[in-house]
Amino acid sequence: MHDSPAHMSRFFLLCLMSCGAESAPVQPPVDTADTAAAEPPDADYGRWALLNEDYIQCGVPASVYDQYVGAASPAERMAERDGRNAELPYYMTAVTADNGAELVAQNCLFCHAAFMDGELVVGLGNPWLDFTTDATAYAAAMPLLAADEAEREEAEKWSERVMATGGSLVTDTVGSNPADTLAQALFAHKDPTTLAWSSSPMMELPSGPIPTDVPPLWNMAKKERMLYSGTATGDLPRVMMTASALCTDDVEDAEEIYTYFDDIAAYFATLEPPAFPDAIDQGLADEGQVLFEDSCAMCHGTYGEEPTYPGELVGVDEVGTDPSLALQPTDILRFVDWFNESWYGETATLAPTGAYIAPPLDGIWATAPYLHNGSVPDLASLLDSSIRPTYWRRSTTYDTTVVGWRSTTLDGGKDEASDPTRVIDTTLPGWSNAGHIYGDGFDADQRAAVLEYLKTL
């Protein structure tokens, strides 16, 4: 199975950016949930909103986008998108600014959709995004490319945001995702109560991203806590909205977006993981299920007809995986406090846990690399810590035997590589591949059985 990550990096410069807006001229389905406050959220409307709404309220001028990027390839278009969105790749959305400028903005699927075996899977984290270069230089040039005054005004707004936040987003490795740091950098520039943007930061910017992978969204059906550390509880659509905060500069705009974010969350809860594509040895998987229920289910739950999920928070000392994300330095608390005091925190709460949540393992076969930092290439080595490579590089071929992106083990780390940003170096801060040794007690046959069972989830 192959994927094509190459196109991704050039979009980064266009992507974290776009700003003040009306939705594109398209015909939305009726949001039944919006007509009466008591109605349950509407998942169908949520999918439409995720693909078409202007929850990211700023972007690059459409004329610049058309000139430098052009129409999307057929594989990147989604049939059910309307109007101009039908010609854009799935991860970009057309937005009309308040001043009339036509813009193109990155949407949630930039990080939360990816190709697997040639199919676009909404909800699968994109493990190929390249945040290793500082995009601020490109952003500075954007207003110069604008075609008219309205575009220039919007390009300046976008460019200011990117330059204010972009410097703290640069990662050391392709696939490592700085979403948490982007949110923190935006918090630093916004008044928590009014959400007004301030050109100069009102608190110290984050020091830089801690390595994280992108979790699959189909797990949200089971999860009551959000994020790898289980930090977020309460009204989760509000927490999700922090990912759209780039240019939401007042409470009125936030309230407007909020009217459909419960629908988007309801849509996430309907997402299903892709099925394992190869044959499964059912007898072996049944043996694995018994072992799994003995050794793993207390944290990860049970699967099948009547699934259970305990949502277990496991302290870093117990799970033993890299502690950096769960035990952030105390100065990170300023961002937690900002959230809790802000409009976003009116109905949701962030609280550090010092733990990682044991995630549901539905569709686990498809979500390599593994652990919150993506430090383990495949399920075979997740189940046997003695074979986890210290230095490795990922290929674009999915290997359904070891279950993960086929990888090459290297003799040295980034310092010795010609392409250091492609090398996963587990000796670096945040990148430890230690811990989670719950499979180490199995013998080879038992491990093979559990691996077979994991393919069925």
Which residues lie near ligand HEC (CB under 6 A)? 55, 108, 110-112, 177, 179-180, 212, 214-215, 217, 219-220, 223, 226-228, 240, 243-244, 264, 268, 295-296, 298-300, 312, 314, 319, 321, 356, 358-359, 361, 364, 367, 370-372, 379, 382, 436, 438-439, 450
* Residue for token pair 């199919």: 119
Q: Whole-angstrom Cα distance, residue 430 to residue 432? A: 6
Smaller CB separation from ligand HEC, 399 or 417: 399
Question: CB 139 → ligand HEC: shortest distance, Å?
Answer: 15
The pair of structure tokens assigned to 233 is 């509880």
Read off the amino acid at residue 294: D
C-beta of residue 85 within 8 angstroms of C-beta of residue 94: yes
Q: Whole-angstrom Cα distance, residue 378 to residue 366? A: 10
C-beta of residue 378 within 8 angstroms of C-beta of residue 399: yes
Smaller CB separation from ligand HEC, 143 or 360: 360
The CA-based dihedral angle spanning residues 223, 212, 264, 221, taken in that order and rounded to the nearest 10 degrees = -20
Smaller CB separation from ligand HEC, 391 or 453: 453
Q: Whole-angstrom Cα distance, residue 11 to residue 74? A: 17
Question: CB 452 → ligand HEC: shortest distance, Å?
Answer: 11
* Cβ atoms < 10 Å from Cβ of 142: 23
Smaller CB separation from ligand HEC, 72 or 355: 355
Of 234, 90, 63, the residue nearest 151 (C-alpha): 63
Question: Phi/psi zone of residue 381: left (φ > 0), alpha (ψ -120 to 50 degrees), beta?
Answer: alpha
Count of alpha carbons within 13 angstroms of residue 297, beta-carbon side: 15
Smaller CB separation from ligand HEC, 72 or 92: 92
Question: CB 395 → ligand HEC: shortest distance, Å?
Answer: 19
Of 231, 434, 450, the residue nearest 339 (C-alpha): 231
Smaller CB separation from ligand HEC, 113 or 146: 113
Question: CB 260 → ligand HEC: shortest distance, Å?
Answer: 11
Smaller CB separation from ligand HEC, 143 or 359: 359
The pair of structure tokens assigned to 402 is 């070891």
Question: CB 428 → ligand HEC: shortest distance, Å?
Answer: 16
Question: CB 150 → ligand HEC: shortest distance, Å?
Answer: 25
Question: CB 99 → ligand HEC: shortest distance, Å?
Answer: 23
Question: CB 56 → ligand HEC: shortest distance, Å?
Answer: 7
Count of alpha carbons within 13 angstroms of residue 162, beta-carbon side: 29
Question: CB 381 → ligand HEC: shortest distance, Å?
Answer: 11
Smaller CB separation from ligand HEC, 64 or 227: 227
Question: CB 308 → ligand HEC: shortest distance, Å?
Answer: 14
Estimate to the nearest angstrom the gap between the alpha carbon of 169 and the chain centroid: 14
Smaller CB separation from ligand HEC, 97 or 319: 319
Q: Whole-angstrom Cα distance, residue 316 to residue 324? A: 9
C-beta of residue 359 within 8 angstroms of C-beta of residue 215: yes
Q: Whole-angstrom Cα distance, residue 369 to residue 213? A: 8
The pair of structure tokens assigned to 200 is 């100069």
Smaller CB separation from ligand HEC, 78 or 146: 78
